[in-house]
Amino acid sequence: MKTVILISSCDHFKECWEPLAYSFEQYWPDCPFPTYIISNQIEDKNLKIKFLKIGKDNFFASNLKAALVLLDCDFVIYFQDDYFLSKKVDTKAIQDHVKYCWSNKVGFLKIHANDYLVRDHLRIDNSIYCKNPIDVRYSLNTSIAIWNKETLESLCIEGYSGWDWERNIVPFVKQNKVAIKSEILHSTFMDNLGIKTIPGGAVAKGRWTKNGVLFLEENGFSELLKTREKEGKIISSLGEFYNKNPRSFLRFPIALLIRAILKLNVNI
């Protein structure tokens, strides 16, 4: 079963490539999977990552589909360019997850330790996995996950931005009766057997987040802070609360408030 890591990106986010590659060197030096970054025209030959240059930027889903067509593999470990690793990755655990997906015909296995969707009540026997019904928005999303390549390719709706995809992919799956065996790691195994990244990602709405700024400053990439605006203090504080309190009843209204602020493109 051929497996690759595919990092969704485009030339507009080239500032993320070097710190992301650095985080792999620090926290996953023995990564056994071929690793690819999606770009348009640019590539950085100094990085130990291969580039899939797909040409014109046609938005998230179209770019992703164009890249998947170029890959000869069975499974894709999906990443995004601002998912800087923050904890050592257990390589054997990830390999075991891939084997599990192959043996059990799992189309989507969420392994992102930062994703707080909890399905513990749907645990599969006494295993480390839980069923992940595609019943609520974001039960499928752009978190780090092991995807069956054909399944992911079938969900790449032409012209969709990342925001479009996250908001609409669950309704699309339901309306079109797409069959996906979807699972997630049990929450007690997420930190050690999943993949942990800096909370909230390094970039939001084109701006460096608070955690992105901290990562860049602490790891020798301060010069990159000049390439993008920094996220405002209020939205940073809201995002920090959201990430640190996964079970709070305030998460949903805070998520709506954050989305409203981002949609208005107000940096406060």
pLDDT in tens, 103-158: 999 999 999 999 878 999 999 999 999 999 999 888 999 999 999 999 999 999 99
What is the reported pLDDT for 219?
Answer: 98
Q: Is 76 exposed, middle or buried (0-12, 13-18, 19+ CB in 10 A)?
A: buried
Q: Is 79 exposed, middle or buried (0-12, 13-18, 19+ CB in 10 A)?
A: buried
Note whether 133 and 122 are within 8 A (CB).
Answer: yes
User: 3-193 domain in CATH 1.25.40.20?
Assistant: no
Question: Can you give the residue ranges of every domain in the chain?
Answer: 3-193, 203-263
Please list the rounded mean pLDDT of every run of 10 residues in the chain (268 residues): 96 97 98 98 93 95 97 97 98 98 98 91 97 92 97 95 92 93 97 96 91 97 94 68 63 69 64
CA dist list (Å): 234 to 53, 138, 243, 265, 267: 37, 24, 14, 13, 8
What is the reported pLDDT for 257?
Answer: 72
Backbone angles phi, psi at 80, to 5 degrees: -120, 160
Backbone angles phi, psi at 230, to 5 degrees: -95, 150
| Angstrom distance (rounded) from CA 266 to CA 259 | 11
Provide the mean pLDDT of the chain.
91
